[in-house]
Structure 1
Amino acid sequence: MRRCHGLSIPWVRQARRKPLPQQIHRMRSFAGTSTSMPSSVMILDMDGVLYKNAAVEGRIVQRLEEETRRLGLAPSACQRLYEDYGATMRGLITEGHLSTNAIDGFYCKVYDPVDVSALQPDPLLRMQLNQLKKGGVEFWLATNSPQHFVARVLEALELADDFQVVCPSQSNGWLNKPDPRYFDQLPMGRFFDDSPQHCNAWNDLRSDTPAYHVARETDVMTLVADALEVVPQSWRLQKAPYLQAKELDDLKSLNQDVLRRLRQELAAFKGEEIRVLDLGCGFLSMLPLLLEQLVPAGARLHYLGVDRDEELLTAAQARLEKMAAPELQVELQCADAVSAVKTAAPQTLVMGCSILDLIDVKALALALRQSQAGALLYFPIHYAGTTSFKGPLAAMAEPLSSRYNESLETRGQVRNVTALYSFLGEELASGPSDWHLRGDNLLLKQLISFMATNALGFQPLQTLREAVKALRCPLEPNQLLPSVQLHVTNVDYLGRVPKTGAVPGATSGAKTKAAARTRLAVQFTAPGIAETVRETMPLPAAGEVLVVTTMSGISAGTERRMLLTGCEEGEPLDSSLKDLQGSGWPLRYGYCLVGTVEIGSPSLPLGSRVFCFHPHASHAVVSEDSLQIIPDDIPDEDAIFFANMETACALCQDAAPVLGERLGVFGAGVVGALTAALLSRFEVTVFDLNDRRLQPLRRFGVATAAKLGASGASGASGFDVALELSGAGEALGQAIRSTRRGGKVVVGSLYGKEEVSLALGLSFHRSELTLLTSQVSFVRAALSTRWSKERRAELSWQMLRQLRPKEWMDLRKVSVREAPEVYQRLAQGAAKDDPAQWIFSYDSYD
């Protein structure tokens, strides 16, 4: 049971152990059934293969070690059992450390505390699986994780319906890989696992279908493509050979005008030390260029190469030992690009070949302004959006390239980095650096292999096989025809980091230009009408910061009322928030905004993730003391619920139920759902006319009802506390009628000028009910001696960490440019298929 601030939350295990799709229980015998099997069967491991996340996998290992020690075994027992048996759990069971009745409980203790919120869906993987299944390929999941953890992982990855699953369970005697009896549950097929022991065990049993070992850096679908013989396996290069092949074509393609300008900039450092930070240095492909063409004679070069891949850094070190350069000082560091920029000493030049389209450029820009003000920037060979076959084979090869950009975008790769230059700083020079690849080129083979793997998500398998076959030499199938031609558009960028505090997109030091920046905002211009407007961006004054918005959430019920009626009461929208003081048209609203600090302060550095109470806009200028810094372990999609969670916490404190009391929650919108989840330790019934809103709440063990039934009648079956959170006057009446004598009705809704008809006759007066209005702007007077806004905010973050609403709340993310359509839909009234939470994204508002 997980506890926090005195609230026990007993629903966690029940919620996480919901059953997998029905096919998990289908353990079939495949003897003599080969004629009915699909053309290909792919059997994938889960942890480290289907998903690769060091935090999640590390937490599993940590919990396994902790629970093994609680059994009285030595700290080294986990590793010993793994080495002896191929799986720690198999060793614990085999050696008798766990009785049969204790196995399920042990699995729960290990896996239930593991947070899977860091796992993100992979749209391309989902499309690849679906497209291949249409072509007769069957996918199985063979894992040593227990059933309830598999269900959570597949749900997080949005792959719950894509696999037949075999895992340890009571029904199969808790079998684990590499037990031969475990493999007997699986059909004949290709086996993919990250454990060499499991692969060896498979090969010993089924040598006719060899196992594929999935290395840490390998996308399992590339190995699936090999197994399906889409492209020759020899075309796919290992990391170091790939970078060597790429280096040859990169150096031929570099834009000479950009190089010439960079030489001119570096010439000013003749006789001095030039410090270079190379991001994603890989096999040191840019170091020879620096030594031979860029660093002026007499200058000393201090080179810091950074890469996340330790294997590549080892290869780089071996290459470095063969270089003879007396004026060269080299450091190699294993780190990600943004972290390296933040921690490095001031540099003369920050560079990176083919890296901008693979990282968060906005985060990089913030780190550069924070730590590398005034440094030169050189980022060559970045994808500019076009990959196409040329020549006589172009039409036959077209299936490989037609959806290539779409496949890149599904995984977050930027298709055209030129749109991001303004974030980096002052542009000094840029120009094309296209690849023109032809014939039996190693880089060309690698690219075709990569394109074919991605295209598995869009094209029939046989279509791709035929397209690749058309490019191969008939007599030497591992070779490409001389007439194969591929053109890839790239671009080189040279710039300079603006001085600290400068605004991206403005020339370094030009404050007058900074004032000309614009932002996109949403406003209600008249009843029922919303629009997006572009306006001059305000600059922060003393005590204020500029926040670049990542996403903002709509408070659907309240914003619908504001959209239709404005603030007819004549009161400020929120007396405690500066940006919600207006009360007339045009009207701006919204108070759930998440972003990063672009112009900060000494106590709030650049790049800080923050929550703002601010209307919907691409940029927000807010007072520093009004911000909430988002904890590192809470993703943006959960942070967007901070204001709603703070309201839910306030409602729970106002409700103040006594242990054993029955509660009714009227309305299962965002606030109602969060409130019901927080109160689920009590006997709670949630009412909402839309059953779609109620379904996610059943994971918390609460009762749900689409309308008020007999159980809501007053008397012995009534509620001790009722919370009205729907915004409907009729629901308030139902809440009053269903609350027993002496009970409490907490009114958390705003009704505006709507006429609310309540039966306040003799029965009401005899009921001795307390009607309590609840609001979140201030801490209630009765609590104020113990609770502050800061303490309640801390509680709200803790509850977000516990509940993780993004895992079960119905979310729909749309571009902020679609705001008019979204508000038009809201103005027409709630529809059954509307999400619980609309979210505006601001990734490409320009």
Structure 2
Amino acid sequence: MKSTKGLSAQPHEAECFDLETPQPSKDRSLPDHTSSNALWLEARDKPRIRTNELPPISGENARVAARYGAISRGTERLVSAGEVPPSEFDRMRAPFQSGDFPFPVSYGYSVAGVVEDGPEGWIGSRVFCLHPHQDHFVVPVEALRPVPETVPLERAVLAANMETAVNVVWDGQIQPGDRVAIVGAGVVGLLAAFVAAAIPGTLTYLIDHDPSKADVAAALGLIFSGPESAPEDCDVVIHATGSEGGLVTAIDAAGFEGRIVEASWYGTRAATVPLGAAFHSRRLQIVSSQVGQVSPSRRARWSRSRRLDLALSLLEDPRLDVLISGETPFAALADTYLDILMDPKVLCHRIKY
């Protein structure tokens, strides 16, 4: 999950970069927006659209018109329910979050859009930004990442979750030939399995209690099983269900001296970890993974911006469209937001601006 999930919920560091492709010149016919609409949580499970005034464009700032966004259901459900622990108020802040935890707060971290105004060379650029749900916004250009021409904006909204998945795979230290199990077929679990399966020689299993996820797994070329037939003796197990039962399944699936990566975030809930029976004799490792920091194995050389660029490039595969389970117009989001958060069948729910 992102802390926020990832970004999960940590602000990504800003890093200047050069665009690799020529950008269109400034088009004065583009709309000159001075206000915007944003989704706010006024109180526990009380979403509302607020109108905000936009700051003027100056210096190295750009105004972006959102085209698509995505709801990170796991993290946003906890935020909407007021389940961010006070100890995590600072670490869980999303980039460009307005308001403070618990409420009122404008939260989210996935928007793909087009630059309407800003520095020369940026106008018309297709970009991704870790930003709350808002139809227009002004941010420093260093916070914008170019969307590859081979990635449609409709799919680019998966970038934040893909970034989390990449970090999880790094934390798992998955190597060619490893036997890998991912417990939990949510968006992060599916993307982590997708990335792990691309490592040569790996045998990657996706485990979930919902048999309907088998179709999604098949579309991504993954081996699916329920918890009752989960594989054993795995080199690496990634747990992404956010439940104690899922963690038990993950521990059972790990082989001798196996590595278990805990990718779930439990908010204010306590989780019982079964450390009895053969846990110690099997010399198992449990490590946490959180997207707010680059994995230690890459941190000396990889910035968050470089990691996000990698995530965007990995979205070229059209099979990933199977992760988009629904779409809602932004104008209707306040009325449907809670239903989306509470629906366990939802994978990535896209917002259309």
One fold, TM greater than 0.5? yes
Provide closer, same or farther for how the CA distance between residues 531 and 693 of structure 1 changes in structure 2, counting only shifts above 3 A: farther
The Cα of 1:798 is off from its aligned counterpart by 2.4
Identity, % of aligned positions: 26
**1:592 to 2:110 alignment:** yes
1:727–1:749 CA contact under 8 A, matched in 2: yes
**1:720 to 2:235 alignment:** yes
* Counterparts of 2:246 and 2:109, CA distance in 1: 26
1:566–1:585 CA contact under 8 A, matched in 2: no
Which residue of structure 1 aligns with residue 247 of structure 2?
Answer: 732
Which residue of structure 1 aligns with residue 291 of structure 2?
Answer: 776
Which among 531, 542, 553 is matched to residue 48 of structure 2? 531
Which residue of structure 1 aligns with residue 207 of structure 2?
Answer: 687
SS of the residue corresponding to residue 293 of structure 2 reads coil
2:97–2:108 CA contact under 8 A, matched in 1: no
**1:367 to 2:23 alignment:** no
1:430-465 per-position Cα deviation (integer Å, ceiling 9, x unaligned): xxxxxxxxxxxxxxxxxxxxxxxxxxxxxxxxxxxx
The Cα of 1:738 is off from its aligned counterpart by 2.0
**1:653 to 2:186 alignment:** no
* Counterparts of 2:312 and 2:107, CA distance in 1: 23
Which amino acid letter does the alignment assign opposite residue 287 of structure 2? Answer: L
1:636-686 per-position Cα deviation (integer Å, ceiling 9, x unaligned): 012111111111111111112233221111111111111111122421111
Which residue of structure 1 aligns with residue 217 of structure 2?
Answer: 697
Structure 2: runs of 5+ lacking an equivalent:
1-23
Q: Which has the larger radius of gyration?
A: 1
Which residue of structure 1 aligns with residue 281 of structure 2?
Answer: 766
The Cα of 1:612 is off from its aligned counterpart by 0.8
Which residue of structure 2 aligns with residue 807 of structure 1?
Answer: 321
* Counterparts of 2:100 and 2:152, CA distance in 1: 31
* Counterparts of 1:774 and 1:534, CA distance in 2: 36
2:209–2:227 CA contact under 8 A, matched in 1: no
Which residue of structure 1 aligns with residue 339 of structure 2?
Answer: 825
Which amino acid letter does the alignment assign opposite residue 227 of structure 2? Answer: L
Provide closer, same or farther for how the CA distance between residues 642 and 762 of structure 1 changes in structure 2, counting only shifts above 3 A: same
Over the residues paired in the alignment, what is the CA RMSD in angstroms? 2.4
1:521–1:533 CA contact under 8 A, matched in 2: yes
Which amino acid letter does the alignment assign opposite residue 236 of structure 2? Answer: V
Which among 244, 250, 268 is matched to residue 753 of structure 1? 268
SS of the residue corresponding to residue 281 of structure 2 reads helix
1:338-392 per-position Cα deviation (integer Å, ceiling 9, x unaligned): xxxx67xxxxxxxxxxxxxxxxxxxxxx62458xxxxxxxxxxxxxxxxxxxxxx
What is the correspondence of 1:124-135 to structure 2 with a 5 Å cutoff?
Answer: none
Which residue of structure 2 aligns with residue 545 of structure 1?
Answer: 62
Which amino acid letter does the alignment assign opposite residue 668 of structure 1? Answer: A
The Cα of 1:578 is off from its aligned counterpart by 4.2
The Cα of 1:609 is off from its aligned counterpart by 1.2
With the length of structure 1 as denominator, give the TM-score of the two structures. Answer: 0.37
* Counterparts of 1:547 and 1:708, CA distance in 2: 44
Which residue of structure 2 aligns with residue 117 of structure 1?
Answer: none
SS of the residue corresponding to residue 783 of structure 1 reads coil
2:340–2:346 CA contact under 8 A, matched in 1: no
Which amino acid letter does the alignment assign opposite residue 839 of structure 1? Answer: R
* Counterparts of 1:750 and 1:564, CA distance in 2: 14
Which residue of structure 2 aligns with residue 837 of structure 1?
Answer: 348
Which amino acid letter does the alignment assign opposite residue 82 of structure 2? Answer: T
* Counterparts of 2:246 and 2:127, CA distance in 1: 36
Structure ranking higher in strand proportion: 2
The Cα of 1:549 is off from its aligned counterpart by 0.9
* Counterparts of 1:659 and 1:687, CA distance in 2: 20
Q: Comparing 568-577 with 621-630, which one deviates more in the overlay?
A: 568-577
* Counterparts of 1:780 and 1:787, CA distance in 2: 9
SS of the residue corresponding to residue 538 of structure 1 reads coil
Q: Comparing 774-783 with 592-601, which one deviates more in the overlay?
A: 774-783
* Counterparts of 1:725 and 1:611, CA distance in 2: 25
The Cα of 1:580 is off from its aligned counterpart by 6.8
Which residue of structure 2 aligns with residue 294 of structure 1?
Answer: none
Equivalences, count? 327
The Cα of 1:561 is off from its aligned counterpart by 1.0
* Counterparts of 2:299 and 2:268, CA distance in 1: 31
Which residue of structure 1 aligns with residue 8 of structure 2?
Answer: none
1:612–1:627 CA contact under 8 A, matched in 2: yes
1:487-527 per-position Cα deviation (integer Å, ceiling 9, x unaligned): xxxxxxxxxxxxxxxx25xxxxxxxxxxxx32111011111
1:666–1:735 CA contact under 8 A, matched in 2: yes
What is the correspondence of 1:395-794 to structure 2 with a 5 Å cutoff?
Answer: 423=31, 503-504=32-33, 517-571=34-88, 572=90, 574=92, 577-579=95-97, 582-602=100-120, 604-681=121-198, 682-705=202-225, 707-712=226-231, 717-794=232-309
Structure 1: runs of 5+ lacking an equivalent:
1-341, 344-365, 371-422, 424-502, 505-516
Which among 816, 827, 833 is matched to residue 330 of structure 2? 816
Which amino acid letter does the alignment assign opposite residue 349 of structure 2? Answer: W
The Cα of 1:804 is off from its aligned counterpart by 2.8
1:455-486 per-position Cα deviation (integer Å, ceiling 9, x unaligned): xxxxxxxxxxxxxxxxxxxxxxxxxxxxxxxx
* Counterparts of 1:599 and 1:699, CA distance in 2: 39
Provide closer, same or farther for how the CA distance between residues 728 and 736 of structure 1 changes in structure 2, counting only shifts above 3 A: same
SS of the residue corresponding to residue 695 of structure 1 reads helix
* Counterparts of 1:665 and 1:581, CA distance in 2: 35
What is the correspondence of 1:166-205 to structure 2 with a 5 Å cutoff?
Answer: none
With the length of structure 2 as denominator, give the TM-score of the two structures. Answer: 0.84
* Counterparts of 1:774 and 1:539, CA distance in 2: 38
What is the correspondence of 1:9-20 to structure 2 with a 5 Å cutoff?
Answer: none
What is the correspondence of 1:19-418 to structure 2 with a 5 Å cutoff?
Answer: 367-369=27-29
1:733–1:757 CA contact under 8 A, matched in 2: no
Provide closer, same or farther for how the CA distance between residues 679 and 583 of structure 1 changes in structure 2, counting only shifts above 3 A: same
The Cα of 1:541 is off from its aligned counterpart by 4.7
* Counterparts of 2:229 and 2:213, CA distance in 1: 22
The Cα of 1:708 is off from its aligned counterpart by 0.9
Provide closer, same or farther for how the CA distance between residues 704 and 806 of structure 1 changes in structure 2, counting only shifts above 3 A: closer
1:730–1:757 CA contact under 8 A, matched in 2: no
1:524–1:588 CA contact under 8 A, matched in 2: yes
Provide closer, same or farther for how the CA distance between residues 614 and 566 of structure 1 changes in structure 2, counting only shifts above 3 A: farther
1:520–1:534 CA contact under 8 A, matched in 2: yes
2:64–2:138 CA contact under 8 A, matched in 1: yes
SS of the residue corresponding to residue 668 of structure 1 reads coil
Structure ranking higher in helix proportion: 1
The Cα of 1:813 is off from its aligned counterpart by 1.6
SS of the residue corresponding to residue 732 of structure 1 reads helix
Q: Comparing 777-786 with 517-526, which one deviates more in the overlay?
A: 777-786
The Cα of 1:540 is off from its aligned counterpart by 4.0
Which amino acid letter does the alignment assign opposite residue 219 of structure 2? Answer: R
The Cα of 1:746 is off from its aligned counterpart by 0.6
Which amino acid letter does the alignment assign opposite residue 367 of structure 1? Answer: D
1:312-363 per-position Cα deviation (integer Å, ceiling 9, x unaligned): xxxxxxxxxxxxxxxxxxxxxxxxxxxxxx67xxxxxxxxxxxxxxxxxxxx
